[in-house]
């Protein structure tokens, strides 16, 4: 018997009650599974950091279910609302200024003490129903141990965190497969803080302006996904590999010879993004290999997000 539940209306209601009472619920989103808690409950938010082994200076994303609620949660303007109307629900996260009068201690913890809040609306019916039934924003980083491979199935969540979660709602495999794009909209220029499910090119076309790119400060992140070492398998990982070593499990892309598994034989970066974490997890579990190698991935569209993830996964101190 595990704590994995089918996302029936009854089970989602049960999970919402757990959120309200300060418990932890793993929920599916279109990107990866999130480890959710009531953003207004300090102990619940602290329990997320404890369960994941996540540094407390690494901020968390708040998930909401209504665009209109955003105006009550953070400082917005016409540009913010137009982006929300275009891309929400979906894999785009905003970093916005908090209200000057906001003194909520739990929100301070979720925001890592910053005067900004990180927020998005997930594009998954189970997540949206859970948020609505909970009646509060659900703060939710990826539902896995910190610095390990992100989960794209309910079983991945259980394998990483086990019974440390009250309920895991099984919404099937995640469609996008990499985390959301994060943009800072607190200044005149829009700044990309993390590449993800919405490409820079798409954002620039919609905005008709250049999106600046920042890698941030890994020692003082202003958003999730800026730690130098992140999404890491247990095996040593090499990226941009044309010729793997005999002891390496080889993850290919496109027309790659000799790959043990291929992210996308047709060279489709969307398909590769959806498969990335599951395939890294599979490679890490294979016996007889002491390392993992990944083919070069084009750095366009979702390829930028893939390269960001595997670069951090391969980081050596």
Query: So what's the pLDDT on residue 294?
Result: 97
Query: So what's the pLDDT on residue 250?
Result: 98
In this structure, how many other beta carbons lie within 10 angstroms of the beta carbon of residue 201?
12
Choice between 119 and 110, residue whose per-residue pLDDT is larger: 119
Residue 219 scores a pLDDT above 80 = no
Q: Place 43 in a pLDDT band, splitting at 50, 70 and 90.
A: confident
Choice between 56 and 302, residue whose per-residue pLDDT is larger: 302
Query: So what's the pLDDT on residue 229?
Result: 59
Residue 313 scores a pLDDT above 90 = no
- The region of weakest confidence among 111-120, 122-131, 184-193 is 111-120
Residue 153 scores a pLDDT above 80 = yes
Across 113-121, average pLDDT:
89
Chain segment 265-290, per-residue pLDDT in tens: 999 988 988 888 889 889 999 999 99
Query: So what's the pLDDT on residue 95?
Result: 94
Query: So what's the pLDDT on residue 147?
Result: 82
Query: So what's the pLDDT on residue 167?
Result: 97
Query: So what's the pLDDT on residue 79?
Result: 94
Query: So what's the pLDDT on residue 232?
Result: 75
Q: Work out whether strand 291-294 and strand 248-252 pair parallel, antiparallel, or are unpaired.
A: parallel
Chain segment 169-184, per-residue pLDDT in tens: 999 999 998 889 999 9
Q: Place 50 in a pLDDT band, splitting at 50, 70 and 90.
A: confident
**Percentage of the chain lying above the pLDDT 90 cut:** 65
Across 111-136, average pLDDT:
93
Chain segment 226-253, per-residue pLDDT in tens: 555 556 788 999 999 999 999 999 999 9
Across 134-156, average pLDDT:
94
List domains and CATH numbers for the chain: 4-213 (3.90.870.10), 236-313 (3.40.50.11030)
Alpha-carbon 153 to chain mean position: 13
Buried b / exposed e over 267-278, threshold 16 CB at 10 Å, is bbbbbbbbbbbb
Residue 31: C-alpha distances to residues 90, 135, 153 (Å): 9, 22, 11
């Amino acid at each position: 018997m595990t704590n994995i539940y089918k996302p029936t209306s009854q089970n989602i209601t049960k999970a919402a009650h757990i959120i309200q009472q300060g418990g932890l619920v793993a929920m599916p989103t279109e990107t990866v599974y999130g480890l959710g808690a009531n953003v207004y409950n300090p102990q619940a938010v602290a329990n997320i950091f404890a369960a994941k082994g996540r540094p407390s200076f690494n901020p968390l994303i708040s998930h909401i279910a209504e665009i209109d609620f955003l105006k009550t949660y953070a400082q917005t303007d016409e540009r913010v609302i137009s982006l929300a109307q275009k891309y929400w629900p979906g894999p785009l996260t905003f970093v916005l200024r908090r209200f000057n009068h906001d003194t909520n201690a739990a929100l301070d913890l979720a925001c890592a003490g910053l005067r900004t809040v990180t927020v998005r609306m997930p594009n998954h019916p189970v997540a949206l129903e859970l948020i609505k039934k909970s009646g509060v924003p659900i703060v939710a980083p990826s539902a896995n141990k910190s610095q390990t491979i992100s989960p794209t199935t309910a079983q991945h969540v259980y394998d990483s965190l086990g019974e440390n979660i009250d309920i895991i709602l099984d919404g099937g495999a995640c469609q996008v497969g990499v985390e959301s794009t994060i943009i800072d909209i607190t200044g005149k220029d829009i700044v990309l803080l993390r590449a993800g499910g919405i490409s820079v090119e798409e954002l620039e076309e919609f905005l008709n302006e250049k999106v600046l790119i920042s890698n941030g400060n890994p020692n003082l992140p202003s958003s999730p996904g800026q730690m130098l070492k992140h999404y890491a398998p247990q095996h040593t990982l090499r990226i941009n590999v044309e010729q793997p070593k005999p002891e390496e499990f080889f993850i290919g892309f496109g027309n790659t010879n000799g790959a043990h598994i291929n992210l996308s034989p047709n060279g489709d970066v969307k398909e590769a993004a959806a498969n990335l974490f599951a395939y890294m997890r599979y490679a890490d579990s294979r016996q007889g290999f002491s390392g993992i190698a990944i083919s070069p991935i084009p750095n366009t569209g979702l390829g930028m997000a893939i390269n960001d993830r595997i670069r951090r996964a391969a980081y050596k101190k």
